[in-house]
Structure 1
Amino acid sequence: MKVVFIGTSEFGVPALDALVASPEHTVVGVVTQPDRPVGRQQKMTPSPIKEAAFKHHLKIFQPEQIKRDSVIKQIAYLRPDVIVVAAYGQILPKVILDLPQYGCLNLHASILPKFRGASPIQSAILAREKKSGVTVMWMNEGLDTGDVLLVGETPIKADDTAQTLHDRLALIGAKSLLTSLALIKKGKATRTSQSDLGVAASYAKKLTKEDGRIDWTKGKRDIDAHIRAMTPWPSAYTWVPDNMAGGTDQKMLKIFTTIFSHRAKGKPGEVVRVDKHGVLVSTGGTGGLLLREVQLEGKKRMHAAEFARGFNLAVGTILG
């Protein structure tokens, strides 16, 4: 099949690589977002999909808006049999959806209709779901509302972060895409309405930096899930009084790994023990979390015990 691939983030790279490697398909063009300024230096940086497409010597398009007539004409000129979309970041207009003979497929990183929208991976971990997956969906004009063609599933592990689950789902998405295209070619692809799946639809909003803030009144398992869901971005964080400044200033402390504890007794967010094993913090409900790997603003990532020594963190300090 002749394929136009539309995507931006790292999630779609294994799928694009798989299409290029497949003798059954030819990627005739790749559409991705324009280069964007990244980091403190605001260096113009290509998307992961652009980098992958460049490596494969593919034709690349980077429109600011895919709905422009000139872009639609360019895609139409390529005469794709199918369009594949993976984490692109813009809504495709109906005129593009209607272009290819076999329609448009979307790779979405959840088991639809749960967690439609922008942050399905983080939302599944936050909700403490037992499994996640990639849905290959026939695209329509709605937001992740199209009929389901195929679902590839994976358990969510106890130590999964958004990054580790993302990486696993990206590989599952690549395999599921090739299977889906084979079914289409054989005339065996099915369409299942999401409303027939017996699961309530939910939406996963786009995350902001503020979403990373830890609510210590929640139970330890919910906070642990929050920390893992926010890793690597926007990062889970709390505010810690700067004892060096007399406790009048607050500094941001990012938290990356923890261990459950049943022994912590104190107010939510209270530091109840500091030793070589880390920093033990009480949470809502029973017990707490032993902080293991943290990063104080302006400092490197380090063991919590090392941070506590350098920061003069005292037992009784309330994190918030």
Structure 2
Amino acid sequence: MRIVFMGTPDFAVPSLKLLLEQHYNVVTVVTQPDRPKGRKKTLTPPPVKEAALSFGLPVLQPERMRSAEAVAAVAELKPDLIVTAAYGQILPKALLEIPRLGCINVHGSLLPKYRGGAPIQRSIMNGESSTGVTIMYMAEGLDTGDMISVVELPITDEDTSGTMFEKLSNAGAELLGKTLPAIIAGEAKAVPQQNEHATYAPNLTREDERIDWMKSARAIFNQVRGLSPMAGAFTFLNGEVFKVWQCAVPSDAAPKPAASVPGTVIAADHNGIHVQTGAGVLVLQEIQPAGKRTMNAAEWLKGARLEIGTQLGDGGAG
């Protein structure tokens, strides 16, 4: 049986490795083009391409999967099944109709919740206590296809997007291994999604990274975890970007309405920088001042002149 695998980031790599470890015939890997990365804008291949080349697999990198040329290139491979995991583009109907067993997707959420490109980050940012992986048949819409199998995982306060990406990518690969035999045998039982319960997880924007100090300490805590270690949340200190990579909500008191203007530094000690929010206090533990490396907030305070009463953000609005 001929399989074409489509994926781009680290999330997809365990699923590709699973296919190879279980001796499935992956004829080609399709991934996004190499992109400039870092301050030097070095052209960098996506993780799936690096993994595919390490296994000696041929790689296709079309700029637009919806182009006639890209669809024709996949059609020439005569796949029986297409497996996707975080590929990053919506596949056209012409491509979905190519394999006789269809196209399946390993999606990082409990569908129909969090359809879209940033389900893991937004589930954490929204304070969800659990998430999971859904394997589904692909349809023309955005993650709208019938569901084949699901696995659920808890989200703890210690989790970030980084830890959940790793947990879910491995859980997704394991689920894929358990689900494929039924698909190949034509025995998979797919269940339509309840569209009325659908929620969406669009790709993150710069505005999603900006801290709004009017929100509660808990909401900002979730935002910071959901953006770490990829983009990071940010505010402003003396007009310059001030990133927050790790923070904590003190457990010794229930959240209270603001006693000071939200965004005000009310204490600074060995625990970090204590900031008033719209409800409760948030302690900034790992920060990155403009032009500097990421560091422990207590370490930074030893050399920084941060006065109590300093205002972060722009008038408390982030």
Rounded to whole Å, the distance in 2 between the matches of 1:277 and 1:225 is: 19
Residue in 1 that maps onto 2:240: 251
Q: 1:315 offset after TM fit, Å?
A: 0.3
Give TM-score scaled by structure 1 length.
0.92
Q: 1:71 offset after TM fit, Å?
A: 2.5
Residue in 2 that maps onto 1:52: 51
Residue in 2 that maps onto 1:293: 286
Residue in 1 that maps onto 2:274: 280
Rounded to whole Å, the distance in 1 between the matches of 2:209 and 2:70 is: 37
Residue in 2 that maps onto 1:269: 263
1:145 equivalent in alignment to 2:134: no
Q: 1:233 offset after TM fit, Å?
A: 2.6
Residue in 1 that maps onto 2:103: 104
Kindly report which structure 2 residues correspond to 1:67-78, keeping only aligned pairs within 5 A, or say none: 67-78=66-77
- The amino acid that maps onto 1:276 is H
- SS class of match (1:159): coil
Contact 1:137 1:147 (C-alpha < 8 Å) held by counterparts? yes
Structure 1's unaligned 5+ residue stretches are 242-249
Once the two structures are superposed, what CA deviation does each residue of 1:38-80 show, in whole Å capped at 9, x if it has no partner?
1111111111110000001001111112233333232222221
Rounded to whole Å, the distance in 2 between the matches of 1:302 and 1:33 is: 33
Residue in 2 that maps onto 1:226: 223
Task: Answer with 66-75 or 276-285: which moved more.
Answer: 66-75
Rounded to whole Å, the distance in 1 between the matches of 2:208 and 2:66 is: 31
Contact 1:211 1:234 (C-alpha < 8 Å) held by counterparts? no
- The amino acid that maps onto 1:266 is S
Kindly report which structure 2 residues correspond to 1:168-207, keeping only aligned pairs within 5 A, or say none: 168-195=167-194, 200-207=197-204
Q: 1:265 offset after TM fit, Å?
A: 4.5
Rounded to whole Å, the distance in 2 between the matches of 1:253 and 1:163 is: 21
Residue in 2 that maps onto 1:247: none
Contact 1:207 1:234 (C-alpha < 8 Å) held by counterparts? no
Rounded to whole Å, the distance in 2 between the matches of 1:303 and 1:8 is: 32
Q: 4+ runs of 1 displaced by more than 4 Å? A: 262-265
- SS class of match (2:194): helix
- The amino acid that maps onto 1:71 is A
Residue in 2 that maps onto 1:136: 135
Rounded to whole Å, the distance in 1 between the matches of 2:50 and 2:27 is: 16
Once the two structures are superposed, what CA deviation does each residue of 1:200-239 show, in whole Å capped at 9, x if it has no partner?
1111111122211111111111110011011123211111
- The amino acid that maps onto 2:199 is S
Residue in 2 that maps onto 1:245: none
Residue in 1 that maps onto 2:16: 16
Kindly report which structure 2 residues correspond to 1:22-37, keeping only aligned pairs within 5 A, or say none: 22-23=22-23, 25-37=24-36
Give the aligned CA root-mean-square deviation in angstroms: 1.5
Rounded to whole Å, the distance in 2 between the matches of 1:208 and 1:234 is: 10
- The amino acid that maps onto 1:282 is Q
Give TM-score scaled by structure 2 length.
0.93
Structure 2's unaligned 5+ residue stretches are 314-318
Residue in 1 that maps onto 2:61: 62
- The amino acid that maps onto 1:307 is W
Rounded to whole Å, the distance in 1 between the matches of 2:95 and 2:248 is: 49
